[in-house]
């Protein structure tokens, strides 16, 4: 008995491609994360920060993924609105909870990083503040998807919101930086990173990105399968009714 083909070619291609890539991406992610961790814990204490510098190896990668995920959602939204690509909405929606979680991790690790330095669990540092606003952007995006019942409308509205947010994000970051210099806040990350810290950081960042890619693929595949299941149930209901 033949497995029923998916109605659209695109999702089928994605299923094939992602199915082939997934094991490799996951494996590479794991290798990168383990390598990064091992390297990370072998660094010498930083001149100013002591060993807390190792928090950078989980904070900065989370931040990088959080921002990349939003960029990905914005790009997918563009594809959805302009070219009506069938998978774009699914991809955008699937990325959002991941992005929100990475943002939350960035905030928590940033807070723990700042605490030994300034004695407070939260400072209105420019990056943390921008990050907090990014978290709200994610939550709003997810809330909009969940609030609108009609899937097509929800997809379009969410796409518009994502693009408006993407245009705003540089403005938000600029204004927060401006605000921060006005009030002379602290800064977690000063400009230069010594090479001995750079390698663990880059490898961890790579691991985080690969992990995001793997989880993103899994979530898109899940939605494709769910859509297929829904259409089968619909057909069954139509036949019975």
Among 28, 31, 78, 157, binds another protein (CB under 8 A): 157
Helix (H) or strand (E) holding 76: helix 56-83
CA distances from 47 to 50, 52, 120, 123, 185 (A): 6, 11, 21, 22, 21
How far apart are CB 117 and another protein at their closest, in Å?
A: 10
Handedness of CA 128, 211, 215, 68 (dihedral sign): positive
Alpha carbons 104 and 132: distance in angstroms, whole number? 8
- The encoded tokens of residue 185 equal 């806040």
Among 75, 78, 140, 202, binds another protein (CB under 8 A): 140
Candidate segments 7-15, 163-171, 186-194, 195-203, binder of another protein by CB under 8 A? 163-171
Binder among 91, 161, 188, 210 for another protein (CB under 8 A): 161
Query: The tokens of 25 are what?
Result: 């991406």
Q: Which of 25, 76, 133, 206 touches another protein (CB under 8 A)?
A: 133
Residue 44 CA: distances (Å) to CA of 196, 197, 202, 208? 8, 9, 17, 23
Residues that bind another protein (CB under 8 A): 3-4, 41, 45, 50-52, 54-55, 58-59, 62, 97-98, 101-102, 104-105, 108-109, 112-113, 115-116, 133, 136-137, 139-140, 143-144, 147-148, 150, 152-153, 156-157, 160-161, 164-165, 168, 171-172, 174-176, 178-179, 182, 211, 215, 218-219, 221-222, 225-226, 228-229, 232-233, 236
């Amino acid at each position: 008995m033949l497995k029923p083909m998916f109605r659209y070619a695109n999702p089928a291609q994605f299923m094939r491609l992602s199915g082939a890539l997934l094991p490799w991406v996951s494996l590479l992610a794991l290798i990168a994360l383990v390598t990064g961790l091992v390297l990370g814990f072998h660094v010498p204490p930083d001149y100013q920060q002591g060993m807390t510098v190792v928090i950078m190896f989980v904070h900065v990668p989370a931040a990088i993924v959080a921002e990349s995920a939003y960029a990905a959602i914005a790009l997918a939204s563009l594809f959805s609105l302009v070219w009506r690509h069938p998978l774009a909405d699914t991809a955008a929606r699937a990325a959002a909870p991941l992005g929100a979680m990475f943002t939350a991790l960035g905030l928590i690790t940033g807070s723990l990083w700042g605490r030994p330095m300034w004695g407070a669990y939260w400072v209105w540092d420019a990056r943390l503040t921008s990050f907090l606003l990014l978290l709200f952007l994610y939550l709003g995006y997810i809330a909009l998807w969940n609030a609108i019942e009609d899937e097509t409308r929800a997809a379009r509205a969410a796409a518009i919101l994502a693009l408006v947010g993407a245009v705003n994000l540089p403005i938000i970051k600029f204004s927060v930086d401006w605000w921060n210099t006005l009030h002379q806040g602290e800064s977690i990350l000063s400009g230069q990173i010594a090479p001995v810290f750079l390698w663990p950081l880059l490898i961890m960042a790579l691991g985080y990105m690969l992990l995001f890619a793997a989880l993103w693929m899994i979530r898109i595949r899940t939605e494709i399968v769910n859509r297929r299941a829904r259409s089968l149930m619909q057909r069954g209901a139509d036949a019975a009714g």
